[in-house]
Amino acid sequence: MKIKRTESGKAQFDFPAPMYYIAKLVRTIPAVGHTLHTLEFSRMKKSIESLKIEKPIYITGLARAGTTIILEMLSKHPDVATHRYLHMVMPYVPHWMQSFADKTPIMLSPTERVHKDRIMVNRNSPEAVEEIFWQRYFEETVDESTSNVMRNDISNPEFEEFYERHIRKLMRDQLRTRYAAKNNYNVARMEYIQKIFPNVKFLIIVRNPFDHIASLAKQDTILSEVERQDPRLLDWTKIIGHREFGGAKICINLDDSNTVQEIRNHWSDKKAYVKGWAKYWASVYSHVHQTLENNQKLAEAALVVRYEALCEEPDATIDRIIEHTELDPKKFGHVKKEYVKTLRPPSYYSVQYTEEEKESIKVITGPVAKIFDYHLTE
């Protein structure tokens, strides 16, 4: 999907209408997706019976931390299967969607994604899609008034059966042996995911709060503006579960409803808007730290990656990622060289904080940032 400008300069959500309405139908009537999944699984059952989901890779962190670039990079490893943009329309049948796409010329040319962050995508680009399933089977995940944290005492056999079958279908369709997913909401679900997949590998991405908050605020502004001019984008973000920005954004409740309310209050106040993002940053990464501190098994399964290290020391950082995920480095050499050459800190935008905003970011995020080796001096 992308944003285009009309002759009058109005921003417009640009996505094929038939695909939009098909996706909306599946969202509105979940039984449609489940029935299609069951049919596809029955057709593929014999070919996926022997497939095992070994060491799946989950990339998570607050939005705009760098999770997309890491998913894109790992998707180029010949062993890794990921969801793709084409799956957004009908995520329940990845094999049939790929077969359909192979027969059509839709979305072949790379275009800049809606985020306006210079990342070019087409229908085969890796994307975060599985949140559609989490919001389908766990409706409370969109409810800010209650904790969204899912620990290892959670049980949902229906979801777990569907989820495992779906991943195996995706792996079989792409002829890959490992599954990788990017999902920012999974910061609240790591323990439950490890319960489902005991040998899971987590990559948790963190970014300097000054730069991170600037990117979050910029993205929220961009999408909010487009939504005002074309309400279909607001509807689309709900359909695909990408609700980090704009009018449909969800604040993850990490066992702290009071903080969620404070964040909401700040977001609604123009003068305190940046303060709201600072509180959200601190809330998310404080939760990450406490979760890893209290769960040794989870800590061993997780690698915290600083976005700055990825951009400034790509060679060593990529090696750490590949070693932690236990992907074959010999199959990744040419991809690594490509990213070592091109990874750089973003330079396509800048932000001017007021002195009050700078102080708020330092005070609110400073203690948590220090845990991740950020010493805020601005």
The predicted structure's pLDDT at residue 92 = 94
State the DSSP string of 114-152. Answer: TT-SS-EE-TTSB---THHHHHHH-GGGG-TTS-----T
For residues 58 and 202, is the Cβ–Cβ distance under 8 A? yes
The predicted structure's pLDDT at residue 27 = 81
Q: How far is CA 65 from CA 232, 304, 315, in A?
A: 26, 12, 19
Which tens digit of pLDDT belongs to each residue from 35-48? 999 999 999 999 99
The predicted structure's pLDDT at residue 89 = 84
The predicted structure's pLDDT at residue 85 = 86
φ and ψ at 248, to 5 degrees?
A: -105, 10
**Is position 285 within any domain?**
yes
> Which one is predicted more confidently, 14 or 345?
345
The arithmetic mean of pLDDT across residues 235-251, rounded, is: 87
For 71-80, 111-120, 337-346, which range has the lowest pLDDT when averaged over its residues?
A: 111-120
**Is position 377 within any domain?**
no
Number of domains present in the structure of the chain: 1
**Is position 196 within any domain?**
yes
**Is position 246 within any domain?**
yes
Which tokens is 10 given? 């109005």
How far is the C-alpha of 246 from the C-alpha of 13, rounded, in Å? 14
How far is the C-alpha of 16 from the C-alpha of 346, rounded, in Å? 30
For 79-93, 110-124, 255-269, which range has the lowest pLDDT when averaged over its residues?
A: 110-124
The predicted structure's pLDDT at residue 125 = 87
Q: Residue 322: name the closest of 222, 221, 180 by CA.
A: 180
Largest CA distance in the chain: 63
- Percentage, residues of the chain above pLDDT 90: 69
> Which one is predicted more confidently, 159 or 221?
159
Q: How far is CA 161 from CA 201, 331, 348, in A?
A: 20, 31, 43
**Is position 298 within any domain?**
yes
**Is position 378 within any domain?**
no
In the Cβ-directed half-sphere of 283, how many Cα atoms lie within 13 Å?
24
**Is position 253 within any domain?**
yes
Contacts with 40 (C-beta within 8 Å, 6 or more apart), sequence order:
92, 93, 95, 96, 169
Q: Residue 188: name the closest of 144, 229, 232 by CA.
A: 144
Kindly tell me if the per-residue pLDDT of 1 is higher than 70: no
How far is the C-alpha of 174 from the C-alpha of 87, rounded, in Å? 13
Confidence of residue 90 (pLDDT cuts 50, 70, 90): confident
The predicted structure's pLDDT at residue 339 = 95
337 lies in which domain range?
2-371
The predicted structure's pLDDT at residue 229 = 81
Gyration radius of the chain over CA positions: 20
Contacts with 163 (C-beta within 8 Å, 6 or more apart), sequence order:
133, 196
For residues 261 and 279, is the Cβ–Cβ distance under 8 A? no
CATH of the domain at 41: 3.40.50.300
**Is position 376 within any domain?**
no
Which tens digit of pLDDT belongs to each residue from 48-65? 989 999 999 999 999 999
Kindly tell me if the per-residue pLDDT of 361 is higher than 80: yes
